[in-house]
């Protein structure tokens, strides 16, 4: 298994920038790679992807040196299927306590570290070319394991979640966090939500674990990186819609 470039960067304290994609488009994945993004998060929690779609998106990412990560629904079978399609990272929503985090690691790692089922005929094992201890240990070492912090319970249990062996990174889910905190209208802009996020940054630094977050615009990407966020992701549909609005607005002004 090839080295996971994003995992290596995070271990070395470097910053990474990527994109969430929730629509099926291998061509878009290629464009993201050619543009220089570090990683792709295929959103299988909210997006509409079949197992074949996931595989084709991952294959496209590999063609352009883009690290493919899958955000799964919190379902053990989703984790297994994403890994068997070739995902180099797993991002799991709604991890609220140590037990939840331990279950994630169990599903990602092979025995004796976890309970992931082994199959040497899948893409990651090059359809049988790779097998045995070399393949198993490389997969355990290179797969990036990310948990979402997006509820007050998760915020309260942050230290115990990230202390679970095998958890590589915590990712803030600002929309779900703001809703679960009771700020449906104001969203992540609410001062209490921003306060919680700022505290998570400090706590992540104290625990020496990388933190990820969403960025709404290029300016926000810069701000997040300056604030110490190591894994910053834009949502590709938001980027596209913003560009579409600009084009329409330019046309309206011209007329």
Euclidean distance between CA atoms 162 and 164, whole angstroms: 5
Work out the end-to-end distance of the chain between its first and last CA atoms, rounded to an integer number of angstroms.
56
* C-alpha atoms less than 13 angstroms from C-alpha of 46 in its C-beta half-sphere: 8
Q: How far apart are CA 121 and CA 127, in angstroms?
A: 4
Q: Is residue 180 within 8 Å of 151, Cβ to Cβ?
A: yes
Measured from the Cβ of residue 108, the count of other Cβ atoms closer than 10 Å reads 27
Catalytic annotation present for 46: yes
Given 34, 46, 131, 190, the catalytic residue: 46
SS3 97: coil
d(CA 98, CA 167): 11
Residue carrying structure tokens 């997040």 = 224
Q: How far is CA 11 from the centre of its chain?
A: 16
For residue 255, give the DSSP letter: -
Could you tell me the CA-to-CA distances from 178 to 151, 174, 184 in Å, in that order?
A: 8, 6, 7
Which DSSP string corresponds to 153-192?
A: HHHHTHHHHHTSTT--EEEE-HHHHHHHTT-TTTGGGSHH
- Contact status, residue 68 vs residue 61, Cβ threshold 8 Å: yes
Give the separation between CA 33 and CA 29, rounded to whole angstroms: 6
Active site residues: 46
């Amino acid at each position: 298994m090839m080295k996971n470039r994003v995992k290596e960067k995070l271990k070395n304290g470097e910053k990474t920038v990527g994109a969430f994609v929730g629509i099926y488009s291998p061509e878009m994945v290629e464009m993201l790679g050619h543009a220089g993004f570090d990683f792709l998060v295929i959103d299988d929690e909210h997006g509409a992807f079949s197992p074949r779609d996931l595989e084709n998106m991952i294959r496209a990412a590999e063609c352009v040196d883009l690290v493919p990560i899958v955000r799964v629904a919190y379902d053990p079978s989703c984790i297994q299927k994403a890994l068997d399609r070739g995902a180099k990272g797993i991002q799991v929503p709604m991890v609220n306590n140590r037990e939840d985090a331990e279950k994630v690691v169990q599903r990602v790692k092979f025995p004796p570290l976890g309970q992931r089922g082994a199959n040497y005929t899948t893409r990651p094992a090059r359809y049988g070319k790779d097998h045995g201890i070399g393949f198993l240990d490389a997969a355990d070492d290179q797969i990036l394991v990310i948990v979402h912090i997006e509820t007050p319970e998760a915020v309260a249990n942050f230290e115990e979640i990230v202390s679970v062996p095998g958890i590589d990174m915590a990712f803030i889910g600002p929309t779900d966090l703001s809703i679960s905190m009771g700020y449906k209208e104001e969203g992540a802009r609410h001062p209490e939500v921003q306060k919680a996020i700022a505290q998570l940054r400090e706590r992540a630094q104290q625990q020496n674990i990388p933190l990820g977050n969403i960025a709404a615009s290029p300016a926000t990407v810069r701000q997040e990186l300056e604030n110490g966020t190591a894994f910053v992701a834009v949502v590709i549909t938001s980027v596209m819609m913003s560009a579409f609005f600009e084009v329409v607005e330019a046309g309206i002004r011209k007329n």
